[in-house]
């Protein structure tokens, strides 16, 4: 099994502390976090109340209290015990949180069709193509119906702002993103159907949330 940077980097107490602290403390980071939560709400509207959701990778638990607060039953899973330890602290005593399970996305320790929905945020764009296919197939196997996944894409409006930033010397020019169609093809190749696409912001973000189901 591949050892790609995103798999290794977070298995470190220092990095987990940094992610949980600095990552979401600036105003800009908080704004982006809020946008993601608001977009997620739109996809969650398709789930039945009380549905069970596996959040992989749960990281430091960005969505545990949020989803359980909306009435969903939540399971956090991640390869990094260090990241999950932070998540565990946040949901201690929450009876809609069914637990945390350490796992590798390519070989999930969950039974077929064991949850209503699989949630995966800030994960797939970090994976090498083969790993991404394996992970998507595993997520589809474990879910009874829904998958909510996010992915970056080449948003021409965002690229425009980014280019201006580069010209005036702020920002690094950013990463090369796949087109929306390329992302859709990868997801469909793993045997999933895309029901709805929710851009995080039509003009200012190159992130979208996809509500998918099994074909």
Beta carbon of residue 136, minimum distance to ligand SAM (angstroms, whole number): 12
Site for ligand SAM in 118-157 (CB under 6 A): 121-123
Among 7, 132, 151, 158, binds ligand SAM (CB under 6 A): 7
* Interface stretch with ligand SAM, choices 56-64, 138-146, 173-181, 190-198 (CB under 6 A): 56-64
Which residue number is nearest to ligand SAM in terms of Cβ? 59
Kindly tell me which of 79 and 183 has the beta carbon lying closer to ligand SAM.
79
Kindly write down the DSSP assignment for every residue of 22-49, as one continuous string.
Answer: GGGTSHHHHHHHHHHHHHHHHHHTTSPT
Kindly tell me which of 104 and 188 has the beta carbon lying closer to ligand SAM.
104
Let me know if 165 is exposed, middle or buried by CB neighbors in 10 A (0-12, 13-18, 19+): middle
User: Among 48, 36, 27, which residue's Cα sits nearest to residue 123?
Assistant: 36
Among 39, 68, 80, 155, binds ligand SAM (CB under 6 A): 80
If phi > 0 it is left, if psi is from -120 to 50 it is alpha, else beta; for residue 205 that is beta
* Interface stretch with ligand SAM, choices 3-11, 65-73, 163-171, 189-197 (CB under 6 A): 3-11
Beta carbon of residue 181, minimum distance to ligand SAM (angstroms, whole number): 24
Told to check if 104 binds ligand SAM by CB under 6 A, we report yes
Kindly tell me which of 84 and 192 has the beta carbon lying closer to ligand SAM.
84
SS3 148: strand
Task: Tell me if 158 sits within 8 A of 203, measured CB to CB.
Answer: yes
SS3 205: coil
The Cα–Cα gap between 215 and 202 comes to: 28
Kindly tell me which of 7 and 162 has the beta carbon lying closer to ligand SAM.
7
Residue 61 has which token pair? 């638990």
Query: Where on the chain is the footprint of ligand SAM (CB under 6 A)?
Result: 6-7, 10, 56-57, 59, 62, 78-80, 83, 104-105, 121-123
């Amino acid at each position: 099994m591949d050892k790609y940077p995103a798999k290794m980097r977070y298995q470190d107490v220092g990095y987990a502390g940094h992610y949980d602290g600095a990552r979401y403390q600036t105003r800009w980071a908080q704004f982006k976090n809020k946008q993601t939560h608001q977009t997620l709400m739109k996809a969650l509207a398709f789930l039945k109340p009380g549905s069970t959701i596996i959040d992989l990778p749960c990281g430091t638990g960005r969505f545990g209290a949020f989803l359980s607060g909306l009435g969903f039953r939540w399971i956090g899973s991640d390869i990094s015990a260090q990241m999950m330890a932070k998540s565990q602290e946040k949901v201690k005593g929450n009876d809609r949180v069914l637990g945390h399970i350490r796992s590798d996305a390519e070989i999930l320790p969950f039974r077929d069709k064991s949850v209503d929905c699989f949630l995966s945020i800030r994960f797939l764009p970090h994976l090498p193509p083969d790993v991404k296919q394996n992970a998507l197939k595993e997520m589809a196997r474990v879910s009874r119906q829904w998958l909510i996944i996010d992915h970056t894409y080449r948003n021409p409006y965002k690229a425009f702002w980014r280019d201006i930033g580069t010209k005036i010397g702020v920002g690094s020019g950013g990463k090369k993103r796949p087109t929306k169609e390329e992302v859709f093809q990868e997801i469909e190749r793993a045997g999933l159907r895309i029901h709805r696409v929710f851009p995080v912001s039509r003009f200012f973000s190159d992130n979208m949330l996809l509500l998918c189901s099994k074909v």
